[in-house]
Amino acid sequence: MPDVSDYIAELVRREDRDRFLTAMFMPADKRADVLALYAFNVELAKIREHVSENMIGRIKLQWWRDVIAGIYAEKAAPKGNPVTEALASLITRHQLPREHFDVLLATRERDMADADDPMDGVSALEAYAEGTSSRLLYLVLYVLGVKGADDAAKHVGIGYALTGLLRAVLFHARENRLYLPGVAGVQDVNTAATAKIVAELSQIAAAHLQKARGLKVDRAAVPALLLATIADQNLSLLKRADYNVADERVVRARTGVARLMWNNLIGSF
């Protein structure tokens, strides 16, 4: 088996390029731990697409709950899994609060719902975004040793997650999943009515990013918050495509690195 840190880095690079890119701007001595958190998130995010039945997905989520509970009970992490081994080490060394893991896992239960169980309004969608993306950022800030940036991380996490969900509408529809409130069903994701909903949610995402930028944060938090820069790129892309989620520019776009480098240099996100 390859070195644990190499395995984790490759997993995140392959499955979550955006977060991998932001991790490259973090201090070298913190990067492996941050990537381990991102790898944990990858494992959770991919459960739904790798199971044939939702109940199996819930069983896999419960396995991760048991892993986290075991780590906090100071039991040995399951052997042979690089992610669980890395998690056990970093949770202990950084004294990470368990609450964020518990909320993240509970929120991921929503991934197991089918399209006939739609998201109950915008507030529910924002809660999902906070429970997944923002909670992960709170943990990253702990690893980076940054205090006082949780409010900014909350809004960046929500704004980034919303834009990601908008870009992934077609992908989720193929899996019989539907996160957008107001969309009638998976058969209607590529319609003018859906484009209107995407436009409205884009505005909400942009408002969260604006709130985050109105808050003063420690310079050390910037690499984690660079997800806001990526969200901006996605929102601009959606606007140019008239909020058509099936537009090739939306489906095939990749994050540009130059803006990330510049914003990190000037301490902006």
Token pair for 236: 């601009």
Residue 156 has pLDDT above 90, yes or no: yes
| Domain, as residue range, for 151 | 4-266
Q: Is the pLDDT of residue 47 over 90?
A: yes
28 to each of 7, 23, 25, 169, how far by Cα in Å? 17, 9, 8, 35
Per-residue confidence (pLDDT) for residue 184, from 0 to 100: 66
- What pLDDT, on a 0 to 100 scale, did the predictor assign at position 9? 96
* Token pair of 28 as six digits: 């070298």
Residue-wise pLDDT tens digits, 186-214: 666 777 888 999 999 999 999 999 999 99
pLDDT at 2 over 60: no
pLDDT of residue 188: 67
Total number of domains in the chain:
1
Tell me the per-residue pLDDT of 137-149, one tens digit each, with 9 for 90 and over: 999 999 999 999 9
0.85 cut: is pTM over it? yes
Q: Do 104 and 132 contact (CB within 8 A), yes or no?
A: yes
| CATH code assigned at 245 | 1.10.600.10
What's the CA gap between 219 and 196, in Å, rounded?
A: 37
pLDDT at 252: 84
Mean of pLDDT values over 147-168: 96
Range in 2-6, 55-59, 239-243 with the lowest mean pLDDT:
2-6
Nearest alpha carbon to residue 108 among 209, 212, 208, 179 = 179
